[in-house]
Structures are given as structure tokens and as C-alpha cells.
Amino acid sequence: MHDSSSPATVNNLYFITLKLSQELRDSGSLAEIFDKRKYCDEFIKAIIFFIEKGHFLLYGFVFLSDQIHLIINSEKEDLHFIIQRLKDRCAKETLVLMGKNLNSMDDQDNRKQQSLRKIFNIFLNEDESVFWNADDSYMNITLKETIEKISPITSDMIISHLADENRNYLHLGASAFTKIMMETI
């Protein structure tokens, strides 16, 4: 388990933007997938897995309706490969959850249900990339002033946050995110 609660020296921080696919963004209500906590939870569970396996350290994250911003540090493997694996894991679990929710939708959700079935069928039958945009944005963060030690967000912190019914991901992920981004200005 790569869950160190002691501060780590930060050398290579990356600001990464992951966007939903154009097809999902064009689908109306499905474009706002990360406005729903159950879908954010699936991404967070994938994050926990990658932190615990030691693939990266997480320093901040922010969910927007159709994209996620991460600040991570990874020196062990190819960062693009790690992020692709993270996206694949999240997409599979999220789409399975979406599929389970299809039958529970009532007639008022008919248009949303049709859009969801179309995307779900494309995923199952044709193309797994229907969930995420293929072009992620990676930006190396150069801090204005040296921050010697910054504590990463640990998997234990995230797991305890998942147990809170009133959880707010903005509170957990954005404080370190804001501090780091302010140091780049």
C-alpha cells in the first residue's frame, strides 16, 4: 500500500484534465455525469486503487459536470499509461452502474434513457472509448515559490470521506488543489 500520511517532497506535479467524450457531452443530461455523487464515487474508487498500488500521489482534484481536474505526482511509470488505465477502470465501472440504472428509470426519463442505452450499447458492442475524450491535457506545474513539503491526499482520507453520507468532494480535493494552483501564479 502506497498510502503515506507523512509529507512528501514534491518534484514533478502535473495538472491533468480528463474530459468526457464529445458524444457524452452532446447528449444533454448525460453531459453532467459528475454532478451525480454515485458517478463521482466510481471515479474516486478508481483513484483509491491507483493510490494504493503506488502508481501516483494525489495532491488535489476537482469534479466539474463533464470533466475532472487532477494534480498528481508520479515518477514510477509512464504517466500517460497510468492515466489511461485509470480512465479505463473508471469508464467500465461507471458504465456498469449506468446500465444497472437503466431499468429503474421511469417514463419521464425516456429521452435520457434512450441516450443512455445508445451509449451503453456502443460501449458494450463497439468502442470502449465512448466515455472519455482521447485527448487529455497534461501540464507540468512549476511552483512560483518552493513548497518543500505538501501532504498528498491518502487513500485512507478518501475512504473515510466515502463513508460520510454528507460528503462533498469539493471540500476534500479542492483545498490542496487551490493552494498549489495559487503557488503557480
Q: What is the pLDDT of residues 36-77, one digit of tens each?
A: 888 889 999 999 999 999 999 998 888 888 899 999 988 776
Domain residue extents for the chain: 13-183
Structural contact between residues 44 and 169, judged by C-beta atoms closer than 8 angstroms: yes
If you average pLDDT over each of 81-95, 97-111, 150-164, which comes out highest? 81-95
Task: Tell whether the model's pLDDT for residue 126 goes beyond 60.
Answer: no
Of the listed ranges 43-52, 71-80, 89-98, 101-110, the one predicted with least confidence: 101-110
pLDDT band at residue 87 under the 50/70/90 scheme = very high
Give the pLDDT of residue 9. 45
What is the signed CA dihedral for 126, 131, 134, 139, rounded to 10 degrees? -160
Give the pLDDT of residue 3. 40
Give the pLDDT of residue 53. 92
Task: Tell whether the model's pLDDT for residue 16 goes beyond 80.
Answer: yes
Give the pLDDT of residue 123. 63
Give the pLDDT of residue 56. 92
Give the pLDDT of residue 36. 83
Structural contact between residues 131 and 94, judged by C-beta atoms closer than 8 angstroms: yes
Q: Is the pTM of this model over 0.85?
A: no
Higher pLDDT, 8 or 18: 18
Cα–Cα nearest to 95, from 139, 60, 73, 126: 126
**H or E, element range at 110:** helix 110-125
Which DSSP letter does residue 78 get? -
Taking the C-alpha atoms of residue 114 and residue 8, their distance in angstroms, rounded to an integer, is 47
Structural contact between residues 100 and 41, judged by C-beta atoms closer than 8 angstroms: no
Taking the C-alpha atoms of residue 26 and residue 163, their distance in angstroms, rounded to an integer, is 33
Cα–Cα nearest to 82, from 174, 151, 18: 18
Q: Read off the amino acid at residue 127.
A: D
Give the pLDDT of residue 173. 67
Give the pLDDT of residue 104. 66
Q: What is the mean pLDDT of residues 27-43?
A: 80
